[in-house]
Structure 1
Amino acid sequence: MKSINLIFTALLFIASTSCKNETKEATSTLETTTKANEKTGQAFISDDESKPTVLSIAINSKDHTTLVAAVQAAQLENALVNAGPLMVFAPTNEAFAALPAGTVENLLKPENKDALANILKYHVTPGNYSKEFLKKFKKLGQANNGYVTIEVVDGEPLIGGAKIIASIPAGNGIVHVIDKVLLPPTE
């Protein structure tokens, strides 16, 4: 197990060093992609190797170190580099810090891997929809087989109550940076 973790760490390091400049370029193309999405609602950039993957974008963001640690603990790295399109709602470090004390630390424990994976999968939707196009939905099906609600407040879509701060196109989808951790409903 330790050797597998070392391999993942090495792969993540390689991916992060090769994508630092690509993340800036992806951010600068956001306006163009958003304009294309306004007409169709979906960008046609699935598997675009000229752009970093959603995982590379998260790795290269100083605001998503907690998210990256959670993805690694749940061993979901491969899912975020696979062919898309994937739409990832990526909570910031501040969003994770707003959870009750001890929540993140508890979820990162190996015995809570399944619960952590369920929460992380609740942040992923198949597709590649612009922020503007998301306003047309009432709910989205998530990768954990749950649904997240969408509400439009003051012209802005709120995903499960979370505000989209930024959107970054990726080679295999899009990353919507959000200000709140989405928690699947408990039954």
Structure 2
Amino acid sequence: MKDTLKILLGAFLVSSMMACGGTGLESTASTPQATGKSVGQSGVKDDVSNPNVVQVAVGSADHSTLVAALQAADYVDALTNVGPFTVFAPTNAAFDQLPAGTLESLIKPENQRKLRDILEYHVLLGVYKKGDFVAGRKMGTADGRAVEIMVNESGDVLINGGKILGTVEASNGIIHVIDKVLVPN
């Protein structure tokens, strides 16, 4: 009886592995862990699931400067995690409005912490849709400070004066595209 159970259990395990698309004997030599490289959540290859906030930004031609800043600040893994996050994503044009030399200075390795603080100032923990923003409300950001919400006569929502131009949902939160880089005081 025990031998029959072992055979059935073995057959079940083999058929389960085959049904999942593998034999269980595939090589892991190409994984970062097997090669000794350390990666975070951003190193997970997944072309099937809905994109997370970073993947959405990477796929947007209007956010290449933001993506470069996220990489320079070593903030990609944090925003690839489960979240949920609300991200205020400045466009490339918004970064162009910064004083000359500001961005170049911020992406230097010695200014990584300062850049990360600025990027964290663009992130709220939780998902806040445009309708959740109430005029005069202050909302805590991931860097521990607060942004102020304003709504103008036209109904446009402004975050510290930066207008929300559009909204994109992601698997781990929501992105509000804005026309201004939010710089903490």
Check if 1:147 corresponds to 2:172.
no
Superposed CA offset, 1:38-62 (max 9, x none): xxxxxxxxxxxx4210010011110
TM-score (norm 1): 0.73
SS at match of 1:166: strand
Equivalence for 1:94: 93
Equivalence for 2:82: 83
Superposed CA offset, 1:73-121 (max 9, x none): 0101111111111000000000000000111111000000010000000
SS at match of 2:128: coil
Q: Counterparts of 1:30-179 in structure 2 under 5 Å? A: 50-135=49-134, 138-154=137-153, 155-179=155-179
Aligned length: 148
Contact 2:52 2:170 in 1 (8 A): yes
Question: Shift in Å at residue 137 of structure 1?
Answer: 5.8
SS at match of 1:78: helix
Report which of the two structures shows the higher radius of gyration computed on alpha carbons: 2
Q: Distance in 2 between matches of 1:90 and 1:4?
A: 30
Select the structure that is richer in helix: 1
Q: Distance in 2 between matches of 1:96 and 1:175?
A: 17
RMSD: 2.1
Which stretches in structure 1 are left out of the alignment for 5+ residues? 20-49
SS at match of 2:63: helix
Equivalence for 1:46: none
Contact 2:53 2:173 in 1 (8 A): yes
1:136 to 1:151, Cα distance in 2 relative to 1, 3 A = closer
Q: Distance in 2 between matches of 1:93 and 1:118?
A: 19
1:4 to 1:96, Cα distance in 2 relative to 1, 3 A = farther
Contact 1:135 1:156 in 2 (8 A): no
Q: Distance in 2 between matches of 1:138 and 1:118?
A: 21
Question: Shift in Å at residue 135 of structure 1?
Answer: 2.5
Aligned identity (percent) is 49
Q: Distance in 2 between matches of 1:94 and 1:117?
A: 20
TM-score (norm 2): 0.74
SS at match of 2:82: coil
